[in-house]
Structure 1
Amino acid sequence: MLIPELPDYLTRLGGQEYVGLIIALFTFTAGISRPFSGKLTDTIGRVPVMAFGSVVCFLCGFLYPYLLTVWGFLMLRLIHGFSTGTKPTATAAYVADVVPVERRGEAMGALGLFTATGMSLGPAIGSWLADAYSMDALFHVSSVFALMSILILLRMPETLDNQQPFRLRLFKLKREEIFDRQATKPFFVLLLQSFSSGAVLTLAPALSSSLGITNKGLFFTVYTIASLVIRLLFRRSSDRYGRVPVLAISTAVLVAGMAVLTIAHTPVLFYTAAILFGMSWGMNSPTVQAWTADLSDEHTRGRAMATMYIALEAGIGIGAVLSGYLFNHLDLGMEASFALSAVLALVATLYLLWLWQKNRVAGVLQ
């Protein structure tokens, strides 16, 4: 709900040169909190960690209207990142706990289906609220939605056996608890893929305005609807054909989507890129989650999921900062960021094709 309107909001506060930090600060704290959320998910339980993420979302949405300086806003974005740093880690582990392994890809697709539904409705509703009412109304409504998620979590049973009570010493991490080597392959692929998300989240609202599109959330709505359709049509594809082949195809589609964005000088091309982008992530997200769960040990599943999400946050954060810098300081335009995103996605595609061939020779379905 918030993302499409935040660049203009920060600009009105006098912080135009910090637009790239809107996403970068959020993903920074999300990234550094991942190892802790992974450990806590595997010790105190899935539900408490999910609840913490929702509470942070609720509080930040409520506080945005009261912090009216650039630095106050940026500090709140930094804190807001803890929501994404905790809840998705525990949620993915929770889903992996409650479904059989042979339907894991389908289950992650179902989880992504609901996530994508919220993401498709959110930007359009958020822009409408900001235009029809005010930014304060947008912030408060987003806070109410977070509160509703907390109420749902109160009724969810815990799936972790041998829960431990929360202790401060759980925040002390060993080296192996920071990065799970079992998730190295998904980490590398997702890091390269997610750079494009950082670029899109940062630059798509500005590109919308330059094309005369007043609702800056429509790009996000179109790509999320495309993602929804793909999830419905191909929800069991990675369970049938393997994680790596599906990821290779979806990442190639991402290359095409970012390439179209580099030449998107009309609304038709702009929305074509949104459809390709959505199709790609509609296959990418559930497949890479299922792949990570496949490679992980059930006792350290939260840690593996946290490692995967570190790649997501790092890629988005780097993509956001670099895209904002290229656009604001080097006068290279948005095309340079979108082209770089396409190149990195191409590297991921080539790696997956190599891995696919390697697995076929070894007779492994992955």
Structure 2
Amino acid sequence: MMIPELPAYLTKLGGREYVGLIIALFTLTAGVSRPFSGKITDTVGRVPVMAFGSIVCFVCGFLYPYLLTVWGFLTLRLIHGFSTGTKPTATAAYVADVVPANRRGEAMGTLGLFTAMGMSLGPAIGSWLADDYSMNVMFWTSSAFALLSIGILLRMPETLVNRQPFRFSLLRLKKDEIFDKQAVPPFTVQLLQAFSSGVVLTVIATVSMSLGIANKGLFFSVYTVASLAVRLLFSKASDRYGRVPVLLVSSTALAISMVLLTITDPADPNAYLWFWSAAIVYGMSWGMNSPTIQAWTADLSDEATRGRAMATMYIALEAGIGLGAVASGWLLNHFAGEAGIDASFILSGVLAIVAVLYLSWKWRQRQPPETHRMNDADEMALVDGEP
């Protein structure tokens, strides 16, 4: 809801040179908190970790209007990152718990469907509230939505069987609890693809304004609607054809979207065509990527350490977004005119192509083939003929 408006908001506070940190600081704490959230998810439970993430989101949204200095704002962005560092990790583990292994791609697609609905409505609503009312109204509305999510979580049953009470000693991580080696393939692909998200989140508002598009959140709405459509129509694709083939298609689409954004020039009469086409193709790529990479991570993980595997995959997401935001912010400040924006999109496209090459190599290997790693319950369900 608030992301499209934050660059202009920080600029008004006098922090234009720190625009790249809006996303980078958020993803820094999100990435740092992932190993901890993974361990707590696997020991204390899925629901408490989800609730913690929603509470952080609620508190931070409420406090933005009261921190009116650049450093106060950036500090709050740093704290706000704990919401993303905890909630998605536990949510993905929760979904993997409650669905059979041979339908994980479909289930993650359904989860992503609702995520996409929120992401498609949020930016447009946020820009409308900021333009017609005020930034403070936008911040408080965001906080109110987080409060509603807490109410839903209070009614959700816990899925972790062998739970432990929380104790601070659980926050001491051993070396093998920080990173799940089984999740290296999805970690690599996620890192390469997520760079583009950091770039888009940082730069796209500027591109929208250069084209005369008043609502800076419309690009996000269009790409998430496209993402939503892909999830509706192709949610079972990775269950049917495999995770790697679907990720190959999504990485290729991502590269194409970056090319379209690179050739978007305000002086070009076809600029709107390239811009909105890029939004659609970008949304299609993430509509395929997100549920597939989550299902792939669940496939490769052990049930007892599923939270850690999900956390590892999300570390790549946060690192990629953070690096993309910092890099694009630096390029904007060091290159005049459109050069910094074009360089950001070109770099994102190159990394997407690297992802295609890596996935092609994984596809050629196929030793062992990328089949689902099922637990005993899943295997018994298949033997008994249940879905």
The two structures share one fold, judged by TM-score above 0.5:
yes
Rounded Cα–Cα distance in structure 1 between residues aligned with 2:261 and 2:45: 42
Aligned with 1:290 (options 291, 295, 319): 295
What residue is the counterpart of 2:343 in the other structure?
336
What are the residue-to-residue correspondences of 1:105-254 with 2, within 5 Å? 105-254=105-254
Aligned with 1:349 (options 349, 352, 356): 356
Deviation track 1:288-329 (CA, whole Å, cap 9, x = no partner) reads: 000000000000000000000000000000000000101112
Rounded Cα–Cα distance in structure 1 between residues aligned with 2:202 and 2:185: 27
Indicate if the aligned counterparts of 2:328 and 2:340 stay in contact, CA closer than 8 A.
no
Count of matched residue positions in the alignment of Structure 1 and Structure 2:
365
Q: Give the residue type in structure 2 aligned to 1:259.
A: V
Q: Give the residue type in structure 2 aligned to 1:350.
A: L
Rounded Cα–Cα distance in structure 1 between residues aligned with 2:209 and 2:43: 47
Rounded Cα–Cα distance in structure 2 between residues aligned with 1:45 and 1:336: 43
Indicate if the aligned counterparts of 2:31 and 2:319 stay in contact, CA closer than 8 A.
yes
Residue 363 of structure 1: how far off its partner (Å): 5.3
Q: Please, what TM-score do these two structures have when normalized by structure 1?
A: 0.98
Residue 350 of structure 1: how far off its partner (Å): 1.0
Identity of aligned residues (%): 73
Q: Please provide the CA RMSD for this pair.
A: 0.9
What residue is the counterpart of 1:55 in the other structure?
55
Indicate if the aligned counterparts of 1:241 and 1:365 stay in contact, CA closer than 8 A.
no
Q: Give the residue type in structure 2 aligned to 1:287.
A: T
Deviation track 1:12-57 (CA, whole Å, cap 9, x = no partner) reads: 0000000000000000000000000000000000000000000000
Provide closer, same or farther for how the CA distance between residues 67 and 363 of structure 1 changes in structure 2, counting only shifts above 3 A: closer
Rounded Cα–Cα distance in structure 2 between residues aligned with 1:178 and 1:46: 18
Q: Give the residue type in structure 2 aligned to 1:290.
A: A
Residue 70 of structure 1: how far off its partner (Å): 0.3
Rounded Cα–Cα distance in structure 2 between residues aligned with 1:165 and 1:362: 38
Q: Give the residue type in structure 1 aligned to 2:331.
A: L
Deviation track 1:169-228 (CA, whole Å, cap 9, x = no partner) reads: 001000110000000000011000000000000000010001100000000000000000
Q: Give the residue type in structure 2 aligned to 1:279.
A: M
Rounded Cα–Cα distance in structure 1 between residues aligned with 2:20 and 2:309: 29
Aligned with 2:282 (options 277, 284, 304): 277
- Unpaired runs of 5+ in structure 1? none
- Unpaired runs of 5+ in structure 2? 266-270, 373-387
What residue is the counterpart of 2:67 in the other structure?
67
Rounded Cα–Cα distance in structure 2 between residues aligned with 1:117 and 1:178: 32
Rounded Cα–Cα distance in structure 2 between residues aligned with 1:252 and 1:57: 34
